[in-house]
Amino acid sequence: EDQVTQSPEALRLQEGESSSLNCSYTVSGLRGLFWYRQDPGKGPEFLFTLYSAGEEKEKERLKATLTKKESFLHITAPKPEDSATYLCAVHRTGGGNKLTFGTGTQLKVEL
C-alpha cells in the first residue's frame, strides 16, 4: 500500500528563517510527486510536480527536490504570507488516477 509521511507536523519560523519540509514516500513505482499548498478554509492549490529522482523545481521562495525515497520543500527567506499547510501526494504507476496524500505540514511564519 502506498504511504506518504510528512514531517514535521507543524513548523514555526521567523520571517527570513529558511527551512525545509520533508515528504517520505513508499510506493511500488512513482509516476509523480505533487506538492500543494492549502490555506485555511480553502482547497489545496497546486505548486509542483516532480517525476524523477534528481529533479528540482522552483517558484518564488519555494524549491522542491526529489530523491528515490523522499522529497523536500525548501523555503528560502519565508514571509508571513507563506504561512499555510503544505501537502505532499504521490501518484503510482498503474494506480489509475489516484493520488495518495500525506497529512501535511502546518507552517507558520511570524514577523
Q: Which stretch binds other proteins (CB under 8 A): 16-24, 32-40, 53-61, 67-75?
A: 32-40
> How far, in Å, CA of 68 to CA of 52, rounded?
8
> How far, in Å, CA of 54 to CA of 35, rounded?
16
Per DSSP, the three-state class of 82 is helix
Interface residue with other proteins among 3, 18, 28, 103 (CB under 8 A) is: 103
Per DSSP, the three-state class of 4 is strand
Which residue, 32 or 83, has its beta carbon nearer to other proteins? 32
Q: Which stretch binds other proteins (CB under 8 A): 12-20, 30-38, 51-59, 70-78?
A: 30-38
If one asks whether residue 44 binds other proteins (CB under 8 A), the answer comes out as: yes
- Are 30 and 37 spatial neighbours (Cβ–Cβ below 8 Å)? no
If one asks whether residue 32 binds other proteins (CB under 8 A), the answer comes out as: yes
